[in-house]
A and B are shown apart, each in its own frame.
Chain A
Amino acid sequence: MSDATAGPFWWRSIGQRLTILLAGIAAVLAILSWWMVTSFAREAAERTQDSVLVASATTIAEALRSEQGTILLELPYSAFAMLGAIGEDRVFYRVAANDETLTGYDDLIPPSTPERPGDIAVRTIDYRGDQVRTVTVRRTVLAGQQPVPVLVTVAQTRTGVEAIGSGLSQTAAVLSVALFILAVGLGAFAAGNALKPLNSFAQAVTRRGPSDLRPLRRKVPDELSPLLIALNRLMERLGQSIRRSEEFIAEAAHRVRTPLATVRAQAELALHTVEKDDEKQMLRRIIRAVDESSRSASQLLDHATVSFRADALTQEQVDLADLAARVTEGLQPTAEMKDIAIELEGNGPANVLGDAILLESALRNVLDNSVKYSPAETEIKVTLDRADDQHWRLIVRDHGRGFSANSLPELTERFKRGGNVDMIVGSGLGLTIAEEVLIAHGGRLKLTTPTDGAGACVSLILPAA
């Protein structure tokens, strides 16, 4: 972890690291190839010079002859003319019989002499202030009856060879630089290409929704599969942990609800036995508070249920008409307490695929909201119809205070309540639950303010089965 963030900025990206490393390798190879070409070129030039020197010395040696006991030599013109071919180099020579100089430069003593006739000795020595390459060939000439060993030494400075070598070296340097630039370009391309799977993997993770904890199923290079596995395990653990906390909340809510019901029953009982007005008042407040607490606990339970069940949604046929009738009936007692009439309109069957418990909870929460925010002696209308060819729609229309326009989009967020709730107690979970259920079923929740007067209009839209 530390070495990824330490170091200069160009060391922090894998792509740049790869590119720089590849460029470094390319530089090393370019230098190496330059050095190799240079030394090969130099050696080739040196060998060429050696060959020419050997040819020259051999040509001279072959011109040796003897006449009446004396060794004669006429230097062949070509032996020296060929030495001018390599470049403008100084030339020295010596022909010696029995260590006696026949002709040439007296002081040009060959550094090594060939042992047998036909042998060739090649050396580099310093002579007259220059480095010279010397070639000595040995030939035996019969002078009279006496075989006389004759050494022919031809020497040449190395200016031409060095000029050829450095010329080729320069060419090689230019080529190496070009090769290096090409390699850097290709390296950058290769680095980009190698990192493509990693980038697309990162993008796939980034594209996921905030609550999408499903395991990633995609083909990744071998190097990335440990990361993928680790990530999937992490998500699985995260999902488990979320589920555990939902279960805990549900458990908690459930446990709170039962004692609350006892408290409420006791309070009701007490209400009938007390006579003083202020005591009755107090008990009513207790009952209302207990109701609200109980309702909040129910909603928390609902929400936990939604979260839990939405992960593995059951797909069964649910008739929305039935469902609406059931929910309406269930809320009738509460509504009657406030003299609110709930009217159901529309005929079944209106089949959708989904989880009946969740759908019921969604509608109940919406309707419960309406009852809660409607003033006494009003009417709530539940309409079932087709939104379009593929969708069913349940509209809950009340005559309450409606939604304040500016908080409309936020209302479905968890624990968010409208700007006009005044003193009414609420958890802010109702619409959240409804929306989560609808989204899990591929539908949506629509909040509108009706055009004909006050009230709110909540539409639950679901795809038809």
Chain B
Amino acid sequence: MRFTDLARGLTAAICLAAFGGPLSALELEDQKFYPGTSDTIIKVISTGDLDVFEPFIQQFQTENPTIGVDYYVTSSAELHHAIKGGAVFDVAMSSAMDLQFQLANDGAAQAYSSQVTDALPVWAGWRNQVFAFTAEPAVAVISRDLFAGLDRPTTRQELITLLRQSPEKFENTIGTYDVRTSGLGYLFATQEARNSDTYWRLSELMGTRGTALYCCSAQMIDDVAAGRLTLAYNVLGSYAAERIARDDRLEILELEDYATVMLRTALIPVTATETEGAGLFLDRLLQEGMRETSSVWALPPLGAADTPEARAYGPIRLGPALLVYLDKLNRDAFLRAWSDAVVQP
């Protein structure tokens, strides 16, 4: 059910459709209102789950008690679609940096600058319109039980070798994003395919072994924990780390050759009405992102983009190149190739 919703939203966004009322068509996953002491309310639309961001919102409200926060959770495609369609929100935060970039490029974001945005590293912002506040790598998560007795591969090449040598261990127990429906999975896949040709060999092999496809990191991690999957590839590192901290059946496979690092970004849409409050909220987000360790969320800081494996290709660059894989023709071509490799009959 959720799959179809997502697929519809994504398709709609990619077709650059401008029809439909801004909010009427919005499919919400969650919504919560945090009242402030005044009438000022900022409407935040986000792909981040409430349980991840609630502590942050509460912290923000302790510092700015007057501002109420109306927090909407939706998928990245829905978010993109809504903002593009002119829905009124004051802040939009999303893990799909390519879609966020496209919003700004197409003129749906407004510029904002403050001392905090000036302190941001150059690569973490674009035109003072899109601001990154986390740097989150894609990781491989394994089940300790099912991986027992196997050497831990340290590179993707070793992982490929392992998949070849022990087919029985991985038969139908590999999971990854269904890049046809998941915007984040698509971003990870395209960037990895661009950077390294091992991606296609790995995908081919995963297709041969039989791979389960998922919409979301959380469900993949759930299935690894439950022992239904031996390996989940390209899981959002922040979610994995947070789960591993309280679940010792899981383990992150340390692949040292490279890491695809996604930037979680926020922007202030042109439709924003409470720009002042939105600016405060954005500043607070960036301050939290620039800290080494955060006390309010489990998301990795921007500094995580500076690990040796992340440095191999750097974090995914905020720039016009992000538009390439959003292009209809490119998307079709990539999905065709991917389906051929992963979704084998």
* Chain A residues in the interface with B (C-beta under 8 A): 72-77, 79-81, 83-84, 88-93, 102-104, 106, 128-130, 159
Would B329 and A84 count as touching, CB distance under 8 A? no
| Known contacts A74-B330, A103-B327: A81-B107 contact under CB 8 Å | no
Is B28 in the interface zone, CB < 8 Å from A? no
CB distance from B40 to the nearest CB of A (A): 28
Of A72, A77, A159, the most chain B CB neighbours within 10 A belong to A77
Among A72, A77, A91, A102, contact of B105 (Cβ-Cβ < 8 Å) = A91
12 A-B pairs with CB atoms under 8 Å apart are A75-B330, A77-B324, A80-B323, A83-B319, A83-B321, A84-B317, A84-B320, A84-B321, A90-B104, A90-B127, A102-B329, A106-B16
How far apart sit A106 and B106, CA to CA, in the bound complex (Å)?
Answer: 12
| Known contacts A128-B106, A159-B127: A84-B330 contact under CB 8 Å | no
Is B311 in the interface zone, CB < 8 Å from A? no
Residue of B nearest to A101 (CB): B328
Would A81 and B329 count as touching, CB distance under 8 A? no
B residues within 8 A CB of A76? Answer: 324
How far apart sit A74 and B193, CA to CA, in the bound complex (Å)?
Answer: 14
Residue of B nearest to A73 (CB): B329
Would A81 and B328 count as touching, CB distance under 8 A? no
Would B333 and A81 count as touching, CB distance under 8 A? no
Residue of A nearest to B320 (CB): A91
Among B105, B324, B327, B330, contact of A90 (Cβ-Cβ < 8 Å) = B105
| Number of B residues, CB within 8 Å of A | 20
A residues within 8 A CB of B16? Answer: 106
A residues within 8 A CB of B126? Answer: 88
How far apart sit A21 and B271, CA to CA, in the bound complex (Å)?
Answer: 58
B residues within 8 A CB of A88? Answer: 126-127, 319
B residues within 8 A CB of A93? Answer: 323
Among B104, B107, B127, B321, contact of A77 (Cβ-Cβ < 8 Å) = B321
A residues within 8 A CB of B2? Answer: none
Would A75 and B320 count as touching, CB distance under 8 A? no
Would B319 and A84 count as touching, CB distance under 8 A? yes
How far apart sit A103 and B328, CA to CA, in the bound complex (Å)?
Answer: 6
CB distance from B314 to the nearest CB of A (A): 12
B residues within 8 A CB of A89? Answer: 320
B residues within 8 A CB of A92? Answer: 105
Residue of A nearest to B122 (CB): A88
How far apart sit A81 and B323, CA to CA, in the bound complex (Å)?
Answer: 9
Residue of B nearest to A76 (CB): B324
B residues within 8 A CB of A91? Answer: 105, 320, 323
How far apart sit A91 and B101, CA to CA, in the bound complex (Å)?
Answer: 11
How far apart sit A92 and B323, CA to CA, in the bound complex (Å)?
Answer: 9
CB distance from A442 to the nearest CB of B (A): 89
Chain B contacts with A in 186-203, Cβ cutoff 8 A: 194
Would B127 and A81 count as touching, CB distance under 8 A? no
Contact pattern, B 90-122, Cβ under 8 Å of A = 1, otherwise 0: 000000000000001111000000000000000
Would A81 and B327 count as touching, CB distance under 8 A? no
How far apart sit A88 and B319, CA to CA, in the bound complex (Å)?
Answer: 7
| Known contacts A75-B327, A88-B126, A88-B127: A80-B333 contact under CB 8 Å | no
How far apart sit A80 and B330, CA to CA, in the bound complex (Å)?
Answer: 13
Going nearest first, the 9 A-B pairs with the smallest beta carbon separation are A84-B319, A91-B320, A81-B321, A88-B127, A80-B321, A80-B320, A83-B320, A103-B329, A80-B324
Residue of B nearest to A78 (CB): B321
CB distance from A88 to the nearest CB of B (A): 4
B residues within 8 A CB of A83? Answer: 319-321
A residues within 8 A CB of B328? Answer: 103
B residues within 8 A CB of A128? Answer: 106-107
CB distance from B48 to the nearest CB of A (A): 25
Of A74, A76, A89, the most chain B CB neighbours within 10 A belong to A74
How far apart sit A362 and B212, CA to CA, in the bound complex (Å)?
Answer: 140
A residues within 8 A CB of B106? Answer: 90, 128
How far apart sit A345 and B104, CA to CA, in the bound complex (Å)?
Answer: 124
A residues within 8 A CB of B330? Answer: 74-75
Residue of B nearest to A91 (CB): B320
**New A-B pairs, 14, CB < 8 Å, besides A75-B330, A106-B16:** A74-B329, A75-B324, A80-B320, A81-B319, A84-B317, A88-B127, A88-B319, A89-B320, A90-B107, A91-B320, A92-B105, A93-B323, A103-B329, A104-B327
